[in-house]
């Protein structure tokens, strides 16, 4: 009877160790899975914050595009439109010097080399 009791205790002890190993491996596996899920949740939160920031930036850009100032700017730059009370000055690049000399009075064309740049501009805009 003592041998049966002893063999029962040994079997009970071995089963207990196996059960403890099984429970501890399951606990470690669940802890690892939990940590992985937490990391994924954190990365998704960061991604959501980045997308929210981009969304806010897009909303601000859309609001700016809908302003009258932006629409006026685009109308002037792309469509070459102007307001009714607005004067437009056209500056041509690469014009011939012969054409400029014909339009200027004789005394100005001779002294043009001696006149400073700001005086030339003054004459272009305010001398008739």
Distance CA 92, CA 53 (A): 44
Residue tagged 């954190």 (tokens): 42
Distance CA 118, CA 94 (A): 19
DSSP letter, residue 108: H
Distance CA 46, CA 39 (A): 11
* H/E stretch holding 48: helix 2-65
Chain mean pLDDT for the chain: 84
Residue tagged 């606990």 (tokens): 27
Could you tell me the pTM of the whole model? 0.46
Question: How confident is the model at residue 103, as a pLDDT?
Answer: 54
pLDDT tens track for 59-111: 999 999 999 999 988 888 888 888 888 887 878 887 555 555 455 555 545 45
Identify the weakest region by mean pLDDT among 34-48, 52-66, 90-104, 106-120.
90-104
Distant-in-sequence, close-in-space partners of 101: CB < 8 Å, separation ≥ 6: 109
Give Dmax over CA atoms of the chain in angstroms: 138
Question: How confident is the model at residue 96, as a pLDDT?
Answer: 57
Distance CA 5, CA 117 (A): 116
């Amino acid at each position: 009877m003592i041998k049966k009791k002893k063999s029962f205790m040994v079997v009970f002890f071995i089963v207990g160790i196996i059960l403890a190993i099984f429970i501890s491996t399951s606990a470690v596996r669940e802890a690892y899975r939990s940590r992985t899920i937490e990391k994924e949740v954190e990365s998704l939160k960061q991604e959501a914050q980045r997308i929210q920031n981009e969304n806010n930036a897009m909303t601000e850009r859309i609001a700016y595009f809908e302003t009258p100032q932006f629409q006026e700017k685009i109308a002037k730059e792309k469509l070459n439109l102007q307001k009714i009370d607005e004067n437009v000055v056209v500056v041509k690049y690469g014009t011939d010097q012969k054409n400029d000399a014909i339009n200027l009075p004789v005394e100005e064309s001779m002294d043009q080399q001696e006149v400073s740049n700001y005086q030339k501009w003054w004459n272009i805009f305010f001398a008739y």
